[in-house]
Structure 1
């Protein structure tokens, strides 16, 4: 789709970030406390340490989003000084959402590729995500861009039953 723009986070997009995610999560699952932390306060729970949220717009309408959350510990125990990222080891691809009116048009894949490209530019070593096996279209899309299933680890999400990773 040539009329889709991918844009980085701006505070005026926070309501869209919350709306898009509540829409899909509540359709399939229960919205959990960790969801609300990230959705209500992305500047605290997503954006620090070079985290980012990308938004897909068609015209003036925000129709999708994806977050990149820095979950890695700095290498060598060095504190994060906001420096270009020799010290970033991994990011979580999270809060991927595409409005039902825009699904099936490749927007999720565009968002995913923008997030992966962002991670590569930062020198991130690994991107991981958690999802649920009932979300077959999302899992298929993640696999198509290079994510592979790995053993699950403890997670704050009751709905997460699959973990996928991509080594960059």
Structure 2
């Protein structure tokens, strides 16, 4: 795992952000309009208000990513972030890359003073849910979501 480095977003990584997420979403579900909004235009739908995307690089290839989206209101500032668009290429799974990305995203939120991180997922994605639990996320009641595939909501209070 020494070959893995984590990099913050730069515009050159947008195609990797889209490729990695389309790859996993289309394997298990249907790609939805809100996915494409975020994947095609992260500068509008992810990065504003201290949002960030982190990328995992293995040797010379981008093999994973995770987004942190500020979902707090302007009055709340950076109180609430969504951990979103977590993806690791099938060729790089099993190397702890998802957990490393998740921990970097959580640390980023802590540095900003974020109070709550939440995510939505699906119960068939057992390895992902297990990893989220291992870093401190806990299931909470679901609320309305733009994603048809989301059947579980998890939260972490920092």
In which range does the TM-score fall when normalised by the shorter chain?
Answer: over 0.9
Larger gyration radius, structure 1 or structure 2: 1
Determine if contact 1:53/1:67 at 8 Å carries over to the other structure: yes
Question: Cα deviation per residue 1:28-85 (whole Å; 9 max; x = unaligned)?
Answer: 0000000000000000000000000000001110000000000011346xxxxxxxxx
Residue number in structure 2 paired with 1:60 = 60
Match of 1:108 among 80, 92, 98: 98
Q: Provide the C-alpha distance between the structure 2 equivalents of 1:16 and 1:74, rounded to a whole number of angstroms.
A: 30
Q: Provide the C-alpha distance between the structure 1 equivalents of 2:104 and 2:75, rounded to a whole number of angstroms.
A: 25
TM normalised by structure 1 equals 0.93
Q: Which aligned segments of 4 or more residues in structure 1 are displaced greater than 4 angstroms? A: none
- Counterpart check, 1:163 vs 2:153: yes
Query: Equivalent residues in 2 for 1:31-70 (5 A)?
Result: 31-70=31-70
Question: Cα deviation per residue 1:92-131 (whole Å; 9 max; x = unaligned)?
Answer: 0000000000001100000000000000000000000000
SS of corresponding position for 1:67: strand
In structure 1, stretches of 5+ residues that fail to align are 77-86
TM normalised by structure 2 equals 0.99
In structure 2, stretches of 5+ residues that fail to align are none
